[in-house]
Structure 1
Amino acid sequence: MKLLKYIPFFLIIYVKSYAQYTVSGKVYNESEKPFEYINVSLLQLTDSIPIQITQTNAGGIYQFKTIKPGNYLVQTSFVGYGTALSPVFMVTDNDIDVIDIQAKPDSKSLSEVTVAGKKLFLQQEGDKLVVNVQNSPLSSGATALEVLQRVPGLQVTNDKISMSGKNSVSILIDGRSSQYTDINSVIREIPSNSIERIEVISNPPAKYDAQGGGLINIILKHNSVAGTNGTVSLSGGYGRFDHKEVNAGMNNYYRYTPSLSLNHRRGALNVFGSYSYLHRNIFEINLIKRYYNNRFYDQKNFNPSSYGYHSYRAGVDYYLDSTNTIGLLVTGFNRSGNGNFENSSTNYNQSSGEVVESLSSRNQQSNINNTIEANLNWRHQFKTPGKSLNVDLNTAHYLLTNESTIRVVSQNSGRYTNYQKVDNSINFQNLKVDYTSPINHTIQFEAGAKSSFARITNDLTFLQNEQPDPGRSNRFVYTETINALYINFIAKVKSWDIQAGLRGEQTIANGKTADSVLVNRKYSKPFFNLLATRHLDSNLAVTLHYSRRIDRPTYQQQNPFEFYIDPQTYIKGNPILLPQFTHSGKLSFTYQGLPFLAINYDRTTDVIFQYAPQQRTVTDANGSTRLISYTVADNIAQADVFSTQLNFPITFRRLVSGYGGGMINRQHYRAIYQGELFDRSKWAYTFYTEINVKISNTLSTQLSGHYAGPSLLEFISAGRNSSVNVAVEKRILNNKGKLVLAGNDLFYGNRTIGQIRFQDINVSIKQYSSTRNFRLTFSYSFGNQSVKGERKRKTGSEEENSRVKTTN
């Protein structure tokens, strides 16, 4: 195999003896704006054979590395545009800046264009892995969470997303996501038909907030053409399940998702917008077995629910002149839903098998989540190429309401009713300034500042048998201010790419109830980032990376009051939580621009366990006792995580394409918890693949799957899980429309089975939900499809991570 000759590089970094240089340049569209993500090829003059192929970034800039001396030219290609060529240039003994290229629309109609660039599914771009999912049939009609399950290096367990080798993950949408919204709910419900690509950044640079061990940036689709154009789609889904384990029989589950996006550009004005709606009914089943003092508690939770989810986005860009652009963007999410959760629990004497107590409850729950954000954006492009100033002002308001009535029937305690209502009102503002300037043709300087403020009011009302319970009710007000400054240097020296950054952040947090201050914290910390890439030749590169990151506790984790899920289970906050800090190092190899091998090591101190388990017995008024289990967020451990990931391409002629790979990681937790040493470690492995088969010019199929072995999730020793997905796509109506039939988790193996064994805690858990489903999607693109449209932009709340997790 051709790849075998590169194996020695993985043992000893071998430095080539001949000189190699970098060729870079910029591509503009017909409006003299940077042309984003256009295909660019470097050709040898002698035979016009492509030496390397790449795409421009968001600034229209491309780059070819490790180029030998010789005569070359650059060629561009994109759907609806004619081929553009640079003048011939010579590489001798210096890096080369190519004269700017302008790409213009082809005079042919779109249906006549036969030469088009196609994005690779996986691309390594500097410090991030880019997963291009917009043309993936398996994404049609799915949710964002279902898409993330297929991303190499990510795992989704109980709706919790983890990244290989990381203790925490921050999720952004379009480079932004207020840290105070419930981003987990958003990705569970946002239709994935609106996703263009996903960026996975394991060691984020200094320009990003220091929050989170790794970043996942979900980039939504934007119209890439102007005039008047748009896309309309309709998707429906179905699943059928037998709930015999909870005595609920057979049930059907449905979803449907209409969506529409529009874009209109004329002259200096560009107006755009999109809307989608998801209606879905789902379920979750939790089977819990607890053993304590010769008692066996058999608990069954059946949680069906339904909801409607509206998402909308509208904005305008106005090009004042060739160097200044202002924009206004409004986005919103509105969710409302209800559930009718059923719980049954039987308490047995283990010795005799006698039933000590039986208990059943029904939790009628309704929740509302309304979010609206507005962003005002100004960008100034200096006449010096690559020099720019970007200013963002962002404001957001969130209103989350969760109301539940828990009716309990107990063999020993009779009937009683618990009622709880949580109102969260969140107001958030920030201002962000970013400046970029080249120092010379090999070094770029970046600097910026950011200040954000949030005020969160949490009202919890608790009643038992219609009588207020002041011990379980509270009003918790939390404010947080984060100020940040950063500098970042990006240098290119022969075959080396180097990036070094420093970020300083100040945090001021206060939390109080009516009569006491529970959180009063102020601290400033520096965060470092260093990346060095050595291009060994035109195919192979090796990268070393180091970063220091922080995870601040969420305000809900610091809220000390109890939120009940059922009569025997609740969640409790911890006001004395500290932030956790992570040192991360990574060694990675890429082959032909694709991720090949990565080795990562992280050490985290003051690790926040989200669900540190505790239990206690309570005595009812009639003298009977029962076991109550609850979880508390706590700093309890030091964690060492080692991981390695291998990816490889799968190709066969032009008919089959895709990738495969695997991850192996070892998690080691060491802590003193409840007065006893908790020292656990576990090797875990995951294998995954995705294969695309082109049957004809209009018919294709896609297959993906993963298999994960046993793993360690904080205190939970979890078993294996798996998933197999398949989709068939048919293009119709002159390739402007398409039909997709997709099936998710065909063998229903995506579930969690685990156990907790620590001190007197002995719990077995089985959890699964409506992951298996079938979806049919129709989409159609209409209008002018030949002129560049809406600009990509990041707003002032970019890089914020989700730090609120509501119980829905």
Structure 2
Amino acid sequence: MKFLVLWMMAGCWCSLALGQRITGRIVDDKIQPVAFANVTLMNVKDSVSKSALTNADGQYAFTKPAPGNYKIMVSTVGFKQGSSAIISFQNKDITVPDLQLKADLKQLSDVVVTGRKPFLEQRADKLVVNVQGSILTAGATAAEVLRRVPGLRVLNDRVTMTGKSKLVIMVDGRLSQYQDMNALLRATPASSIDRIEVVSNPSAKFDAEGDAVINIIMKRKQAAGTSGTLGMDAGLNPYRLNEVAKGDKLYQRYNPSVSINHQSGKFNVFGNYSYLYRTQFEVNIIKRYNNNSFYDQRNYNPSNYGIHTYQAGADYKADSLNTIGIVVNGFNRNGSGNYQNGSIQTNQTNGSFIDAFASQNKQGNVNNNLALNLNWRHAFMKPGQSLSVDADAAHYLLKNTSNIRVYPFSGNVIHNYQRINNPVNFETLKADYVQPLSKNTKLETGAKTSFAKIDNNLLFEQNGVNDAGRTNRFIYRENINAAYANLYITYGKWDLQAGLRAEQTVANGTSNSKKVLQRNYVQFFPSLLLTRRLDSVFAITGQYSKRIGRPSYQQQNPFEVYLDPLTYTKGNPLLTPQTTHSGKLSLTYTGLPVLALSYDQISNIIVEYAPQQKTVIDANGVPRLVSFSVADNRAEAQNFSAQLNFPIKVGNVVDGYGGVITTLQRYAAIYQGGVFEAEKWSHVFFAQADIKMSSTWAAQFSAYYATPSQYEFIKAGRNSSVDAGIAKKILGNRAKISLSVSDMFFGDRTLGRIKYQDIDLHLKQYNDTRNIILAFTYNLGSKAIKPAEARTAGADEENKRVKTN
């Protein structure tokens, strides 16, 4: 019944806009789309007009105008006004030729832009989520924003995508400032994000790594004169933590930030700085059943950290065709944690006490990361022909220490000490070339080479004595060489994008000076995207891509990294890449997604949470049942997914969207001498609405509910979240103050169970997802009249594969 109602709502939405239209596109002097320009349809006879805003692709549309003669008038910040020739409309669809605007180089003073980007935009090859104008992003982190993106979920503090096995996260197309992308997302202020691009079937231009790509585009201004932004966010997070006997607790955060941009003549200089201080917690409850014993293990992990994030750069426009630039990114994190564990073993039959112990893991970590990008952009005299070159170098340093004390019910205290020293170095060189072949055809080619060296040095001591079985040094080197070609063709109502990418991977690893892996292989990755425009508002798109999922550096590392005496993770140097074939068919309406069907076939899956358990004898001679996970790839999977979206609109007051995603997940694996098979239907319901209360007051509401699902060996339980916020513009619309509450009912928790052979393990994990945040921003100087050019640096793939957890 729910699906029938959703289909009826979507049908009503689509039927409202059927009819004749006048459509077209606004471009600049480089034939690039001009987004959010004011477009007026002016009747030549009586001057009666309609108005609209262009979307991110520069497109506009006017529905059912009266028959007559019209002119298209365009105005937007940074360009001179433009107009079209007279067009005659007689109740038949008309596509107006591209209207090209000329730049207005005069510096403008205070300008108020009233157009607002839609939260969701479906483009031919990706879904764009515009988070910049969202009230709920104020004071949040990037990870908290991703929880609100349809189809994305956060499982065990790791971002996942419905129906996808391996998700790749990029930031600004550049080197990230941190090795572990999930840790980076938890530490990056969301107020610095402009938009998020979700690419479910990446083309050959992307590195072949990953089934799907999330590209987070950070804010950056490029304007004549001097401009900037000041910001301050603060939050309080109250919790009652009775499950770990901690009672009422209060956590907090604050985040001052500043950005500045100055453009004069041929030079543009920019920089930004942000400091985030946060106290937080994580609770992990693990219940295990084995041989008539019940193990109740409860972890409470309070921590705090301070993060300095900074960026500085400059562009020099040597002439009208050449621009060179330099960008430096830095990220410094200092943090500490006091991980507390209590474990009790009882008899399942009568509940009698068998054993117990407590442990404390005091952790400290320091991350000092620095990345440099040099770039050159050359535009040829022929419109659309261009060459871009990027050189990247980065040095990351992770230091982590753990002092683990185990307090048994009887016997001596056991003192374990673990230290990880992990320097990482990258160098990449990348070039991309675009050659128009005709008015409707262009060829894009490129090449890339990358080099990485990761030195993982782990020291493990027990009671002051070096444990040779756990102490290890793993050195990993990798070189990836790639080349690709993409062909774009437009023919009538058809759009075609066909590509092929070739990648050579050369990798070797040594553990304690002994070679444990060596690989050298070449693979080819085709991609295809075909769009058929049914009319001026509807289009159907079909996509196919082949992708690779390489094991991360840490997944190949044979270290045993301990959380507490009963839980650890271990790498596997014998891992091999997984391969995914993906297909997708989607229907869009005026650029917005309506219905999408997708299917993924994954072979040789890298299972990150392959469970094992064994009994070990501790330093006091007491046997203990230990659970651990080892990455393995002996599984196959099929994922089918269907997504339906519909609008939520009430006059000019409420504007939003809602939808449902239904997924069938199938896993099959030969593991530990047995066969694991799982099949599960799951559903995610989501909605978001913007409420315009006045010209200065606005509110926003967001919610989702996810039914139980299957994730590798984990049968995950339901979770949900409800967020709300209110904002007001002040000080002549130069400033904004907002108050928001995320996960107000504290339903965003991870529940799960692993039951395989003699393993019967129940999981419950939650952290400080409920936050009350007050945020203030103030805009300085003149408004931008020239948008920054999009850039893609060369080291995306290597960075996203370096992980630490």
The TM-score bracket by the shorter chain reads over 0.9
Give the alignment partner of residue 644 of structure 2, picking from 627, 643, 646: 646
Partner of 1:359: 357
Unaligned runs of 5+ in 1: 11-15
Partner of 1:581: 579
**Identity within the alignment, %:** 48
Partner of 1:760: 758
Q: 1:41: how far off?
A: 4.3
Structure 1 Cα separation of the partners of residues 222 and 660 of structure 2: 34
AA at the equivalent of 1:27: D
Partner of 1:780: 778
Partner of 2:258: 260
Q: 1:66: how far off?
A: 14
Give the alignment partner of residue 241 of structure 2, picking from 237, 240, 243: 243
Query: 1:84-483 to 2 correspondence within 5 Å?
Result: 84-88=82-86, 98=98, 100-104=100-104, 109-111=109-111, 116-177=114-175, 181-483=179-481
Partner of 1:565: 563
Q: 1:21: how far off?
A: 12
- Describe the shift of the 1:35–1:532 C-alpha distance in structure 2 as closer, same or farther (beyond 3 A): closer
Structure 2 Cα separation of the partners of residues 2 and 726 of structure 1: 24
Structure 2 Cα separation of the partners of residues 6 and 189 of structure 1: 38
Partner of 1:13: none
1:571-594 Cα deviation digits (max 9, x unpaired): 000010010000000010101110
Structure 2 Cα separation of the partners of residues 773 and 179 of structure 1: 26
Q: 1:79: how far off?
A: 4.7
Q: 1:617: how far off?
A: 0.6
- Describe the shift of the 1:400–1:564 C-alpha distance in structure 2 as closer, same or farther (beyond 3 A): same
SS at match of 2:545: strand
- Describe the shift of the 1:202–1:786 C-alpha distance in structure 2 as closer, same or farther (beyond 3 A): closer
AA at the equivalent of 1:792: A
Quick check: 2:222–2:261 contact (8 Å CA) kept in 1?
Answer: no
Quick check: 1:330–1:374 contact (8 Å CA) kept in 2?
Answer: yes
Partner of 1:733: 731
Structure 1 range deviating more: 86-95 or 357-366: 86-95
Quick check: 2:405–2:416 contact (8 Å CA) kept in 1?
Answer: yes
Partner of 1:544: 542
Q: 1:3: how far off?
A: 9.9
SS at match of 1:486: strand
Quick check: 1:171–1:801 contact (8 Å CA) kept in 2?
Answer: no
- Describe the shift of the 1:785–1:607 C-alpha distance in structure 2 as closer, same or farther (beyond 3 A): same
Quick check: 1:145–1:188 contact (8 Å CA) kept in 2?
Answer: yes
Structure 1 range deviating more: 150-159 or 490-499: 150-159
Structure 1 Cα separation of the partners of residues 164 and 298 of structure 2: 32
Structure 1 Cα separation of the partners of residues 786 and 26 of structure 2: 19
SS at match of 1:102: coil
Q: 1:78: how far off?
A: 3.2
Partner of 1:592: 590
AA at the equivalent of 1:647: N
1:611-669 Cα deviation digits (max 9, x unpaired): 10000011245543110110000002100000111111111111111111111101100
- What TM-score does the superposition give when structure 1 sets the normalisation length? 0.93
- Describe the shift of the 1:179–1:507 C-alpha distance in structure 2 as closer, same or farther (beyond 3 A): farther
- Describe the shift of the 1:72–1:639 C-alpha distance in structure 2 as closer, same or farther (beyond 3 A): farther
Partner of 2:27: 26
SS at match of 1:204: coil
Partner of 1:684: 682
Partner of 1:554: 552
Is 2:498 the counterpart of 1:500?
yes
Quick check: 2:426–2:798 contact (8 Å CA) kept in 1?
Answer: no
Structure 1 Cα separation of the partners of residues 25 and 237 of structure 2: 51
Q: 1:352: how far off?
A: 3.5
Q: 1:519: how far off?
A: 1.1
Partner of 2:512: 514
1:169-222 Cα deviation digits (max 9, x unpaired): 111111234598211111001000101111111001111111111111111111
Structure 1 range deviating more: 481-490 or 612-621: 612-621
Quick check: 2:139–2:773 contact (8 Å CA) kept in 1?
Answer: yes
Structure 1 range deviating more: 478-487 or 617-626: 617-626
Structure 2 Cα separation of the partners of residues 5 and 475 of structure 1: 59
Partner of 1:490: 488
Query: 1:717-728 to 2 correspondence within 5 Å?
Result: 717-728=715-726
Partner of 1:633: 631
Q: 1:162: how far off?
A: 1.5
- Describe the shift of the 1:412–1:596 C-alpha distance in structure 2 as closer, same or farther (beyond 3 A): same
Quick check: 2:197–2:216 contact (8 Å CA) kept in 1?
Answer: yes
Structure 2 Cα separation of the partners of residues 93 and 774 of structure 1: 50
- Describe the shift of the 1:190–1:36 C-alpha distance in structure 2 as closer, same or farther (beyond 3 A): farther
1:428-483 Cα deviation digits (max 9, x unpaired): 00000000111111111100000000000000000001111111101100001111
Partner of 1:702: 700
Structure 2 Cα separation of the partners of residues 86 and 314 of structure 1: 41
Quick check: 2:412–2:620 contact (8 Å CA) kept in 1?
Answer: no
AA at the equivalent of 1:304: P
Structure 2 Cα separation of the partners of residues 698 and 742 of structure 1: 17
Query: 1:73-92 to 2 correspondence within 5 Å?
Result: 74-79=72-77, 83-88=81-86
Quick check: 2:177–2:331 contact (8 Å CA) kept in 1?
Answer: no
Unaligned runs of 5+ in 2: none
1:137-196 Cα deviation digits (max 9, x unpaired): 100000001111111121122221122221111111112345982111110010001011
- Describe the shift of the 1:107–1:264 C-alpha distance in structure 2 as closer, same or farther (beyond 3 A): closer
Q: 1:563: how far off?
A: 0.7
Partner of 2:795: 797
Partner of 1:54: 54
SS at match of 2:54: strand
SS at match of 1:336: strand
Structure 1 range deviating more: 317-326 or 150-159: 150-159
Structure 1 Cα separation of the partners of residues 564 and 37 of structure 2: 55
Structure 1 Cα separation of the partners of residues 64 and 675 of structure 2: 56
Q: 1:800: how far off?
A: 5.4
Quick check: 1:180–1:802 contact (8 Å CA) kept in 2?
Answer: no
Quick check: 2:6–2:646 contact (8 Å CA) kept in 1?
Answer: no
1:492-546 Cα deviation digits (max 9, x unpaired): 1111111100000110110002331111011110001101111111111111110
SS at match of 1:802: helix
Quick check: 1:484–1:506 contact (8 Å CA) kept in 2?
Answer: yes
Q: 1:44: how far off?
A: 7.8
SS at match of 1:200: strand
Quick check: 2:177–2:330 contact (8 Å CA) kept in 1?
Answer: no
Structure 2 Cα separation of the partners of residues 729 and 514 of structure 1: 57
AA at the equivalent of 1:469: D
Q: 1:244: how far off?
A: 1.4
Structure 2 Cα separation of the partners of residues 5 and 717 of structure 1: 32
Q: 1:239: how far off?
A: 0.8
SS at match of 2:312: strand
SS at match of 1:420: strand
Structure 1 range deviating more: 479-488 or 513-522: 513-522
Quick check: 1:212–1:801 contact (8 Å CA) kept in 2?
Answer: no
Structure 1 Cα separation of the partners of residues 596 and 342 of structure 2: 47
